[in-house]
Structure 1
Amino acid sequence: MLSLEAANELIWKKFRELPLEHVEVDVWEAVDRIMAEDVLSPGNVPEFSRSMCDGYAVLADNTQTAGNETPVLLSFLGEVPPGEKANMEVKEGQCAYVSTGSMIPAGADAVIMVEQTKIQENNSVLLFKPVIAGERIILQGDDLKTGQVIIKQGEKLNPRHVAALVAAGIYRVKVFARPRFAIISTGDELVDIGQEPAVGQIRDSNSYALQAFITRAGGEVVRRVLVKDDGELYRKELENAVKCADMVLISGGCSVGIRDFTAQAINSLPGEGVFIQGVSIRPGRPLIVGECMGKPVFGLPGHPIAPVILFKIVVEKLWHRLTACEETDMITAVVDFDMRPSLFTHLLVQLEKREGFIRAKTAAPENPAQTGAISQAHGYIWIKDLEKGLSQGQIADVYVF
């Protein structure tokens, strides 16, 4: 079997030229979307130097001897209202009143808070504290400079980016179109939502779990079907899925039993067919990857945890590489258990903060067929070293869901 790294490299080699569509959307609708290009500030933000408080715009050098017992007296020029151009120049021995956000008039290089001043009847102002050049002023271009990158291609647009984009006058951005997925669940034992399982049947939870993770990753499910163990029906549904989606996920039917039709169905359609069958990881060992009509098709084992893990470490990884997205939700935690796995293992863990540290404990110690473990897990640890495994007290990377 291939290692996970080798499998991902082979998948990348096969699909690195997969065409991606771009769409233009409003910035407030682009949150969690992956940027299709760098976005540069078209101008300085702010476009003019402005005051950070209500007070007086002054020349800092004029205030250096100011104190409670030795106030400095400056001539009052007038007021610069917020939202208006400063049509005055502050010279030696002068000051101008500014509000928070007001333009700093020419000549001034600092602002003293109004609480540290006292206006006099003779059109002058007393200053009781010194200020330094630049104090309480946001200078032109302090936030963003012309040509500065606000967000890079491949980054996910975060709510923190929105204010900067709008401040720079950017209201629409180009993002990658949401990848379209089709999901096929297979098995005579499966029933869909709305149906009551008979004895020997179970609800199809895998396809809905996959749909939730697809949505979280920024994709959309355009087709979801439940197929019985019928080879011809299976092939027809796979052909329909490939025609309407960018990627196809098949849950179940990946082993070598008499009712496992995944590889056979993939190989029956135009394209290269299956090029990966089995990866040395746990859970997810029976993974199948193929190419049908230019589209990637992923056959995922039916055990409840395996499809979720494989989606994160194989399918989503391909999408991120295609879009040059490097964002990974990962934290470090102290391991609260010992484990020596028999295969490269992706282990579900729960996280809790205790004694000042984030600690990880197992959510599904051995059995990968536990749907409850997924709901209890906060993420997973990739145990790469088979000999060392994981030891209590060790620091490990946790990939957070």
Structure 2
Amino acid sequence: MLSVKEALEKILNCKITQKIKKVPILESLGLVTAEDIVSGDNIPAYNNSAMDGYAVKSIDIVGADRNYPIKLKLLKEDLPAGSVPELKIESGYCMQIMTGAPIPDGCDCVVMKEDVLKEGRDVLVFKECKSGENIRLKGEDIKKGNIVLQKNRKIYPGDVGVMASIGKSEILVYSPPLIGILTTGNELIEIDERLETGKVRDSNSYSLSAQAKELGINYKRYGIVGDEKEELKRKIAEVLGECDILLLTGGISVGDYDYVKEILDDIGAEFVFWRVNQKPGKPLAFLTYKDKFIFGLPGNPVSVMICFEMYVRPLVKRIMGDPQLLRRQVAAKASEDFKHKEGRTEFARVKLEKVGGEFFFKSTGRQGSGILTSMAEADGIAEFPDDLEIADKGREVKVYLLKDI
């Protein structure tokens, strides 16, 4: 049976096809650039004022202070942002200027308005100003021809602003995969149906949809299919005809495995592995079909979500070109003893707290693979590796963060 590490390696080593598409920059957030983004302009495009004040020649106000102010004559023209100066600043003169307005010819600094006193057309300057002070220079932020975002970079809000500033309205990104979610089982009913003995509401497709949505990728729910072979085969073919990744829940545990395997064999899917030495989520299957991927997920709701985090998420991230394959991790110490079987990787749902710069975790409570509230209440997933002998109090392990801490 494969270890967690071996299973993940097999998934990530599969050949993938990265699709590229052009999107508006507001739709690029969270995606990864598939091209270098080059500026065609200097930003700022011209020297401009960094604040409201008065444009002056620095040589005219050398030595100015509160005791010995220097008087300058105010030109008639004021400079609001967006206007273009028509007059040149001569010695002994100044011009009122607003933040962002172009610097007039003859001026080499801007005195803050707090450091002057205006008396009609006279301006008393109480503080000297060095050449270049309070001026944003042409190309100071971005130079024409510079690469502002390199290829294979994840896009954050600040990047969107930068692209807007250089006039880039659309860019090439790696296209996120479309995930198709199909749940199986005669016992399953829709969530708005009346719950009766022997029936279970389909929470799995909603949990998986939420995890896909959190990743910022598109997904499609294909509903519930019973244990009728031809219908399941038809539905699987439909999903694979439309989606890049199929998440098939249920039907891959011991006893059901041969039944589903026969269907997947019939459509030409190739098995990469079945079963992983982990708890929860042991009966996990992974297959390829042409340039698409199939995850056969366990039916238990916690197992489904854990397998998505540890295996589906990394594959999706790789397809999207995102190097951060797994969630952010912290080293944390157990605040209590945990049950753990050496020789098997176990994932516990835990609550986290930070004390004196260190993270500590405790169980959310019952850890059964059917206790979905253990995921809802968890701040993170603690990984007890297969070579760990005992998960006792004070033991430090890796915790994958599900929430902001």
Interval of TM-score (by shorter of Structure 1 and Structure 2): 0.7 to 0.9
The answer as to whether partners of 2:89 and 2:95 remain within 8 angstroms in 1 is yes
The answer as to whether partners of 2:34 and 2:172 remain within 8 angstroms in 1 is yes
Could you tell which deviates more after superposition, 304-313 or 78-87? 78-87
CA distance in 2, matches of 1:61, 1:347: 70
Task: Tell me if 1:308 matches 2:305.
Answer: yes
Alignment of 1:56-205 (within 5 A): 56-77=54-75, 78-90=77-89, 92-121=91-120, 123-205=121-203
Q: Which residue of 1 aligns with 2:241?
A: 243
Alignment of 1:2-401 (within 5 A): 2-16=2-16, 18=17, 20-77=18-75, 78-90=77-89, 92-121=91-120, 123-258=121-256, 261-271=259-269, 273-327=270-324, 329-330=327-328, 332=330, 334-335=332-333, 336-339=335-338, 341-342=340-341, 343-352=344-353, 359-364=360-365, 366-384=367-385, 386-387=388-389, 389=391, 391-392=393-394, 394=396, 396-400=398-402
Residue 169 of structure 1 aligns to a residue whose secondary structure is coil
Quote the offset at 1:171 in angstroms. 1.7
Quote the offset at 1:214 in angstroms. 1.2
CA distance in 2, matches of 1:4, 1:395: 15
CA distance in 1, matches of 2:56, 2:156: 39
CA distance in 2, matches of 1:260, 1:379: 34
Quote the offset at 1:221 in angstroms. 2.3
Quote the offset at 1:127 in angstroms. 1.0
Quote the offset at 1:104 in angstroms. 1.4
Deviations 1:195-214 (A, max 9, x none): 22321221111111101111
Indicate the percent of aligned positions where both proteins have the same amino acid: 28
Change (3 A) 1:364 1:90: farther
In structure 1, list runs of 5 or more residues that go unmatched. none
Could you tell which deviates more after superposition, 299-308 or 222-231? 222-231
RMSD: 2.7
- State TM-score, norm by structure 2: 0.87
Deviations 1:198-245 (A, max 9, x none): 212211111111011112212222341312223333222222221121
- AA paired with 2:336? F
The answer as to whether partners of 1:222 and 1:244 remain within 8 angstroms in 2 is no
Quote the offset at 1:88 in angstroms. 3.8
Could you tell which deviates more after superposition, 245-254 or 334-343? 334-343
**Aligned positions, number:** 397
CA distance in 2, matches of 1:338, 1:260: 39
The answer as to whether partners of 2:183 and 2:224 remain within 8 angstroms in 1 is yes
Quote the offset at 1:397 in angstroms. 4.4
Could you tell which deviates more after superposition, 31-40 or 282-291? 31-40
CA distance in 2, matches of 1:390, 1:44: 59
Change (3 A) 1:258 1:351: closer
- State TM-score, norm by structure 1: 0.88
CA distance in 1, matches of 2:399, 2:189: 37
CA distance in 1, matches of 2:134, 2:366: 57
CA distance in 1, matches of 2:317, 2:241: 22
CA distance in 2, matches of 1:371, 1:27: 37
CA distance in 2, matches of 1:152, 1:233: 47
Change (3 A) 1:29 1:110: same
